[in-house]
Structure 1
């Protein structure tokens, strides 16, 4: 019987290492008998998702009977004419006890063994450079490494592809992911769940949301259809990409940036091969690239041709739904990291400073990101009190990880805890005052004991002025000597607002606006 072990060590027992590598990468010619392979995430030290069905898939000779054994289960399926097979394991409880997945084929008596497999909570962490930032750059997160227990990670190697790939490069490691946000999230989540945590890290700096979108989303996202039509017609760009991929590694910095700024290609190589690996959800820290314009699809430079900020919310919702379809899981949870404070005004609007609500700033992107909450099984980690006015890569990542874990613990683990800060419930206009009512506002207070800051008022003229704010129970009363009939409120609606409003859990109030004014140009 041909027997092979999948992992970093002892990749093959009775077949050559070269043959196994070809099989794993799916490079055996069609004319030859298809070797037995499994999906890229099924490697030694893997973490399987607890309490939900677990698909196991791969390739083998057409007509072969494939049998998978794990944790007392034994399931079989027949390989189809495309040489693909899929078997679904029944839901399993969590365990940190290492076990072996055994996969056998009736053709050639082939056998694969995947060792040291545990069962717990699995999350995909994706996005651009702020997800990519390593934990060594953040001292308070780096200091957590010695206390990291029960955390494993699979890092997807960064590359692109013109077509959807069935496999990706990477290995499971018995160590935290080298991402400050992903590690902080996993560290806090393990405290709540007390089970093995598996993080699949797939991210790349400078990437737009369109880079992570499958081509079939051209059917639902009009601007993406335009982008892909233009890409298909751009022979020079396609030839350059092919040349880079065929050339030596490592790539030059210029080539690396050129690749990661392309649309669709990161999805093909770095996201599609992961599905439908069972997971609880996906953490998404991305958006900076799409803040390069307000209205989107600018002509120059080419890498700013994307949704922009105003179209991002609708694009994000469609992307979430498309990923749930890919994973065949309508309850797949999505946690979005709100972009933190930063100031770089766009030239398309008034440039009134980091705290002014009319500046064309990241405030509009945050509003788009919050549209994800219109879908079930979503959360947005509020970072409005974090960030750096001048640094697009701030180091205050530990609070982000903690807030993500709070949302996951409440919404996916069913724990009864306070997971986010105050949320505007309604606004009452009474003469020359406006009263803002909040939910999740027990112990509503300010971090410094001063009056609440970050509130602005306007009347029908759309002229915005700073508001005087007074706390009263779970409300904030607003007024301004400059307005006799205020009607509209914007809170923390700026690039880098100065905010101090929190609940008794110390979690910040979410930004909001009550007007429907279009961005002033």
Structure 2
């Protein structure tokens, strides 16, 4: 007598759950909505959910593509590559019901991500703010700043027919649009004081033991997890203190703000991040209540982790040619957590120079670029306002490296060093029209012999080379250029693009 009611109850539960599954309405990722920009010249995935086995049809720009949902209700179709178009069109998605998105255009789509200097608003950068009145054909998707302990399928936000809030992202979009005269779409996903680790997929723990330790500790930290869940449940009411606490955790920004963006078709990702990882030169520091948020990798290892991060994102987007444009950290006068007060002009001080060197390791990978900011920044402000040149240089790099334009997009880059008499001759790539921006002799060069005692070098431009010497050094061997926290530099090429910092020695710092 007791068995039949149990079976009947179980049957009703199963029937109810099945009904819920099969009544799932047609929905798309939030990335697909009115005002969206689709990437030109490549296949464009479109995806969402509906009832299992439901037939889905997507129509856009003369294309009609169909599929059926899987058992889990998920579906995806792929539109064939399209040419850029400023003409607004409708996208129709139909199943048991029909959804129509209006004002859809095709152009160049970029994700702009990182920490506070990417989040830095247009209104706080006067030169960038002045461009708003002449901006056109720029649209944006602002990703809601939140976290999650699991990888999310959807993201909060919507496309708007307005420029992004980020000064760097808007400047980039503005100059790219002016050059190409096509729609530019920016997906802006940044959060101040976030580390590289905050944007790392959990499975990168398989490659980096330090990240595995951090994630294991987060899993076991019930107090932290409860605190974050409580902050999330309070929604917009959460305090700034709780906001900071969440965004300085590992992995959980990726889960909520980046994972759901894949595989939205885009040309690439602009990455302006690194400040959080400059507090130590090497390794992951032990932490206490005062510096718990510093438990991230240091400057030395950052470049290796960044390379793997790029590869992992390309895997997520299923796009081996997805371009990554990294914004080099600009000039800044502070040192590390252990030694913050440094000589910002010294080539040996523990400064952001070591992070810039690490960031440039990304160039070992194909389809990457680094925006040189060595002539920018602020001695005392970690949030400098000179964001306009960054946007210009990002646009130049995008034109050259992703749109195959025959332009000069980088400043002089070290090619080789040769000994000459009692000096050294520096040869560069991208050195046509080599000059100084103030018509004075080049500054920022230091040389050393085998003793590794560094001396400021006298420098002269000879053709497309720079000749270095110092009477105190008979046989100079090594060179460091602009290798300081806030170097004084003036070397550029005919395109007014600054020379990239470099060093030719293998010496490792000792003041950590």
Regarding TM over 0.5, the answer is yes
CA distance in 2, matches of 1:72, 1:350: 60
Offset, 1:34: 1.5
What's the Cα RMSD here? 1.4
CA distance in 2, matches of 1:185, 1:250: 33
CA distance in 1, matches of 2:85, 2:318: 25
Output aligned runs, 1:423-438, within 5 Å. Answer: 423-438=413-428
Output aligned runs, 1:95-106, within 5 Å. Answer: 95-105=85-95
The question of 1:75 aligning with 2:62 is answered no
Output aligned runs, 1:130-169, within 5 Å. Answer: 130-169=117-156
CA contact (8 A) 1:363 1:493 kept: yes
CA distance in 2, matches of 1:500, 1:469: 12
Which of the residues 375, 398, 408 maps onto 1:408?
398
CA distance in 2, matches of 1:320, 1:332: 9
Offset, 1:348: 4.7
CA distance in 2, matches of 1:273, 1:76: 23
CA distance in 2, matches of 1:190, 1:29: 49
Structure 1 residues not aligned, in runs of 5+: 1-27
Quote the residue 2:12 is aligned against.
none
In the superposition, the TM-score normalised over structure 2's length comes to 0.94
For the residue of structure 2 that corresponds to 1:311, the secondary structure is: helix
Offset, 1:113: 1.1
Which of the residues 124, 127, 143 maps onto 2:111?
124
The question of 1:443 aligning with 2:433 is answered yes
Offset, 1:350: 9.9
Offset, 1:420: 0.8
Quote the residue 1:514 is aligned against.
504
- Judged with a 3 Å threshold, the aligned counterparts in structure 2 of structure 1 residues 140 and 352 are, in CA distance, closer, same or farther, namely closer
Offset, 1:203: 0.4
For the residue of structure 2 that corresponds to 1:136, the secondary structure is: helix
CA distance in 2, matches of 1:95, 1:249: 38
Offset, 1:120: 0.5
Which of the residues 261, 275, 286 maps onto 1:299?
286
Structure 2 residues not aligned, in runs of 5+: 1-17
CA distance in 1, matches of 2:297, 2:71: 40
Offset, 1:507: 0.4
Offset, 1:304: 0.7
Q: Which is worse superposed, 81-90 or 247-256?
A: 247-256
CA contact (8 A) 2:334 2:340 kept: no
Which of the residues 36, 50, 54 maps onto 2:40?
50
- Provide runs of 4+ in structure 1 moved above 4 Å: 28-32, 347-352
Offset, 1:450: 1.0
Q: Summarize deviations over 1:131-162 as a string: whole Å, max 9, x none.
A: 10111111111111111110000100100000
In the superposition, the TM-score normalised over structure 1's length comes to 0.92
Which of the residues 256, 277, 297 maps onto 1:290?
277
Which of the residues 258, 266, 274 maps onto 1:279?
266
CA contact (8 A) 2:140 2:187 kept: yes
CA distance in 2, matches of 1:116, 1:135: 25
Quote the residue 1:13 is aligned against.
none
Q: Which is worse superposed, 88-97 or 232-241?
A: 232-241
